[in-house]
Amino acid sequence: MSVMDVRSRQVRVPRRFLPVAATFAVFVLTFGAGSLRYEGFASPQVLTNLFVDNAFLIVLAVGMTFVILTGGIDLSVGAVAALSTMIAAATLEAGWPPLVSVAAVLLTGTCLGLLMGLVIHHFEVQPFIVTLAGMFLARGLCFLISVESVSITDPAFRAAATGTLTPVEGVTLTYSVLIALAVVLVAAHVLHRTRFGRTVYAVGGSEASARLMGLPTGRVKVGVYAVSGFCSALGGLLFSLYMLSGYGLHAVGMELDVIAAVVVGGTLLSGGVGYVAGSVAGVLVLGTVQTLISFEGTLSSWWTRIVVGVLLLVFVVFQRAVVRRAR
């Protein structure tokens, strides 16, 4: 067998998987570096805590992945998450049953996302502007409910917040992690096994071509913002479980963390390329960087922002290089 035959039979990673593979490689390298530098960093519980501490961010990143895959952006996710914490806290304080409160939160978030999607599609306004307006609206509604932090004292809600599972000895999970992983699995199925998901990729690749193929581009463009609104509301609920309070200043700037995680996870800002698994890996990379700085103890928390900014720039340049080679 000739050398050329051997080379032709080598398995090569498709270009569309390269950004995701790079993200997983960065996660393994950063976690490995922490394991070598700090005693106890490689424990299963530290790895599990990356999911426990970032379950809400994973859910928000899933919703943002849908939006960015179509070539859009959603700047309202942090504000909608904060509004969700306020609605949950205020309704529970008013004596609403927890399930009714949860339903109200999810319905509000989905309706806000749907409204923004309708404006973007029917009035042909840039998503940046519409979702920026949505961010201000949601943040303002928070302070209409209360300008102070509202504690959550409902027994059922607190039980859900403090409840844990021990699948393996020495490893403790929260219910929020299970919800986040369930959202990831459902989102992956929708994107890769349904007509809606295939249309999402088609719109991001070329909306004009997708329209000529007879695909329901308008419904999908509106739908992804409704999905993002739902995920923002659900992420806000998980954040309220994490904080056990509602506050109008919760999740300030979180939309930027979400966008960073999705981009670092390999989703192209121009749309059409990306995976939910990559977004999860992006969240884990951000969580690992934060954990490394916490273990160091002598560094300011602002170093997290600096490292994430460098990673974001590197991945954007890497994505651009991959796209140019593909052309």
Over the stretch 16-51, which tens digit does the pLDDT of each residue have?
A: 788 888 899 999 999 999 999 898 898 999 999 999
Give 146-174 pLDDT, tens digit per residue. Answer: 999 999 999 999 999 999 999 888 899 99
What is the average per-residue pLDDT within 68-88?
Answer: 98
Q: Residue 184 and residue 175: Cα distance in Å, rounded?
A: 14
Q: What is the pLDDT of residue 54?
A: 97
Q: What is the pLDDT of residue 3?
A: 47
Give 196-251 pLDDT, tens digit per residue. Answer: 999 999 999 999 999 999 999 999 999 999 999 999 999 999 999 999 999 999 99
Element holding 272 (H helix, E strand): none
Nearest to 227 by CA among 287, 271, 183, 291: 183
Distance of CA 120 to the CA centre of its chain: 21
Residue 51 half-sphere exposure, CB side, CA atoms within 13 Å?
18
DSSP secondary structure letters along 164-207: EEEEETTEEEEHHHHHHHHHHHHHHHHHHHSHHHHHHHHHHH-H
CA end-to-end span of the chain: 32
For residue 12, pLDDT over 70 is answered with no
Mean pLDDT, the chain, whole residue set: 91
Q: Residue 114 and residue 167: Cα distance in Å, rounded?
A: 38
Q: Residue 132 and residue 261: Cα distance in Å, rounded?
A: 19
* Confidence label for 323 from pLDDT (cuts 50, 70 and 90): low
Q: Residue 88 and residue 157: Cα distance in Å, rounded?
A: 10
Q: What is the pLDDT of residue 2?
A: 52
The CA angle 224-230-234, to the nearest 5 degrees, is 140
Q: How many CB atoms lie within 10 A of CB 1?
A: 6
Structure tokens at 140: 């303002």
Q: Residue 126 and residue 131: Cα distance in Å, rounded?
A: 9
Alpha-carbon torsion, ordered 194, 195, 198, 203, to 10 deg: -140
What is the average per-residue pLDDT within 74-103?
Answer: 97
Highest mean pLDDT among 3-7, 180-184, 318-322: 180-184
Candidate from 2-6, 59-63, 100-104 with smallest mean pLDDT: 2-6
Q: Residue 155 and residue 128: Cα distance in Å, rounded?
A: 40
DSSP-assigned beta bridge partners for residue 165: 173
Q: Residue 209 and residue 199: Cα distance in Å, rounded?
A: 11
Q: Residue 159 and residue 81: Cα distance in Å, rounded?
A: 21
- Topology at the third CATH level for domain 15-33+42-326: ABC transporter involved in vitamin B12 uptake, BtuC (1.10.3470)
Candidate from 8-22, 100-114, 177-191 with smallest mean pLDDT: 8-22
What is the average per-residue pLDDT within 261-273?
Answer: 92
For residue 183, pLDDT over 90 is answered with yes
What is the average per-residue pLDDT within 93-112?
Answer: 97
* Confidence label for 314 from pLDDT (cuts 50, 70 and 90): confident
Q: Residue 168 and residue 185: Cα distance in Å, rounded?
A: 22
Is residue 125 within 8 Å of residue 226, measured between CB atoms? no
Sign of CA dihedral 201, 204, 205, 209: positive
For residue 6, pLDDT over 50 is answered with no
* Confidence label for 326 from pLDDT (cuts 50, 70 and 90): low
